[in-house]
Amino acid sequence: MATKKAATKGAQTHGNSGATNAQLIEFYRQMLLIRRFEERAGQLYGMGLIGGFCHLYIGQEAVVVGLTACANKQDTVVTSYRDHGHMLACGMDPKGVMAELTGRATGYSKGKGGSMHMFSREKGFFGGHGIVGAQIPIGAGLAFAHKYKADGGMSFAYMGDGAINQGQIYESFNMAALWKLPVLFVVENNKYGMGTSVERASASPDLAARGEPWKIKNMTVDGMDALSVYEAGLEACSYIRAGNGPVLMEVKTYRYRGHSMSDPAKYRTKEELEKMRSEHDPIDALRHLLLSQKLMDEDAFKALDKDIKDIVLEAAEFAQTSPEPDPSELWTDIVVAA
């Protein structure tokens, strides 16, 4: 594969983090996978193959790709319902994710969870949570378990800017700081909680400062740049892993699509969206860097595009041809047999 050849070119590193050429190419590959996957999910939704609520991650790819690159094998991740990107970044199989979206037996939750409720214990992904903010105490609890078991792990607890005004966020901040839990709280500030802008919802729009009453270390990061996110993530994780307690990271990002599939996004201007897309797209930005550094050429990009397209098409095909869950599944997984 062309990318592999490129990756072995020298031991050059980038930015303050020392990201290698191979890492940059991998960031690009993962972001492209998430974007193409989400576009395809949107199409399958349009065809009636995906139902209910479906929240796409398009535009925010750099956040989860940059931060997941800082994670170790024993670490855990929990997020809200805008979760497809997190699952792909955690290494979950696109086929299983897409098949869950179409409600099939081969999906990660056997078709019983859907877009908002998917999990992989194997990959350390603990959901996919449908109640705004409720994943944050759970993320603190995962960190509590890491500390209790002394397994060296930490948890990544993601939320949107809409969740930041929920009371349980602050209950979690307090306990995480009080008990020095190894958790990275990530606010993916995409500027709108559904249709309400941060300015209309938050008396103080400086979301990183929301941990100050508990003296939680905070960071504000450009979420449209995977390398910046990665650098900030490394700093945060090293602080957390050293036993200093939680970090609150506000990542400034942007979602291109509506809140969910049926949102026409009338609360923002076309110009605002176009400007983000044309001037701040995380995938375009990294593409230019890879080109200018001669780490990948047009042929390599073409080959990678094709690889990603094939993966996504295979996932979509799998999701459409897999059987629906057997009716008997209605009655399974309610309680574990004691």
Partner 1 sequence: MSTQILMPALSPTMTEGKLAKWLVKEGDKITSGKVLAEIETDKATMEMEAVDDGVIGKILIPEGTEKVQVNEPIAVLLGEGEKASDISAAPAAKAAAPAEAKAPGAPAPAAPKPAATASAPEPAAEGGKTQTVREALRDAMAEEMRRDQSVYLMGEEVAEYQGAYKVSQGLLDEFGKKRVIDTPITEHGFAGLAVGAAFGGLKPIVEFMTFNFAMQAIDQIINSAAKTLYMSGGQMGCPIVFRGPNGAAARVAAQHSQCYASWYAHVPGLKVVAPWSAADAKGLLKAAIRDPNPIIFLEHEILYGQSFQVPENDDFVLPIGKAKVEKSGSHVTIVAFSIMVGKALKAAEALAAEGIDAEVINLRSIRPLDIDTIIASVQKTNRLVTCEEGWAFSGIGSEIAALIMEQAFDHLDAPVARVAGKDVPMPYAANLETLALPQVADIVEAAKSVCYR
Q: Judge contact between 142 and 136, C-beta under 8 A.
A: no
Query: Binders of partner 1 among 257-276, rule CB under 8 A?
Result: 258, 261-264, 266
Q: Judge contact between 216 and 247, C-beta under 8 A.
A: yes
**φ, ψ for residue 69, nearest 5 deg:** -65, -15
Whole-number Å distance between alpha carbons of 265 and 270: 9
Q: Is there binding between residue 73 and partner 1 (CB under 8 A)?
A: no
Q: Which stretch binds partner 1 (CB under 8 A): 2-10, 143-151, 186-194, 236-244?
A: 143-151
Q: Which is nearer to partner 1, 22 or 307 (CB)?
A: 307
Q: Which is nearer to partner 1, 171 or 297 (CB)?
A: 171
The amino acid occupying position 109 is S
Which of residues 30, 68, 109, 253 is near partner 1 by CB under 8 A? 109
Shortest Å distance, C-beta 270 to partner 1: 9
Q: Is there binding between residue 72 and partner 1 (CB under 8 A)?
A: no
Q: Judge contact between 124 and 77, C-beta under 8 A.
A: yes
Shortest Å distance, C-beta 317 to partner 1: 10
Which of residues 71, 138, 289, 296 is near partner 1 by CB under 8 A? 138
Q: Is there binding between residue 158 and partner 1 (CB under 8 A)?
A: no
Q: Is there binding between residue 11 and partner 1 (CB under 8 A)?
A: no
Q: Which is nearer to partner 1, 69 or 136 (CB)?
A: 136
Q: In which element (H, E) is residue 294 found? A: none
Q: Closest by alpha carbon to 30, among 236, 253, 312, 261?
A: 312
Q: In which element (H, E) is residue 322 found? A: none
Which of residues 2, 7, 22, 134 is near partner 1 by CB under 8 A? 134
Shortest Å distance, C-beta 22 to partner 1: 26
- Cβ contacts of residue 94 below 8 Å, gap of 6+? 33, 37, 88, 311, 312, 314, 315
Whole-number Å distance between alpha carbons of 56 and 147: 33
Shortest Å distance, C-beta 162 to partner 1: 16
Q: Judge contact between 236 and 185, C-beta under 8 A.
A: no
Q: Is there binding between residue 115 and partner 1 (CB under 8 A)?
A: no
Kindly report the number of other CB atoms within 10 A of residue 334's CB atom: 6
- Cβ contacts of residue 157 below 8 Å, gap of 6+? 78, 79, 135, 136, 138, 139, 140, 142, 143, 172, 183, 184, 185, 186
Which of residues 219, 277, 287, 307 is near partner 1 by CB under 8 A? 277
Query: Binders of partner 1 among 206-235, rule CB under 8 A?
Result: none
**φ, ψ for residue 41, nearest 5 deg:** -60, -40
Q: Which is nearer to partner 1, 12 or 321 (CB)?
A: 321
Query: Binders of partner 1 among 160-199, rule CB under 8 A?
Result: 167-168, 171-172, 174-175, 178
Which of residues 142, 237, 249, 286 is near partner 1 by CB under 8 A? 142
Query: Binders of partner 1 among 26-65, rule CB under 8 A?
Result: 35-36, 39-40, 42-43, 45-49, 51-53, 58
Which of residues 14, 29, 112, 268 is near partner 1 by CB under 8 A? 112
Q: Which stretch binds partner 1 (CB under 8 A): 9-17, 82-90, 127-135, 221-229?
A: 127-135
Which of residues 107, 193, 211, 282 is near partner 1 by CB under 8 A? 107
Whole-number Å distance between alpha carbons of 165 and 314: 40
Which of residues 34, 78, 207, 251 is near partner 1 by CB under 8 A? 78
Whole-number Å distance between alpha carbons of 145 and 250: 24
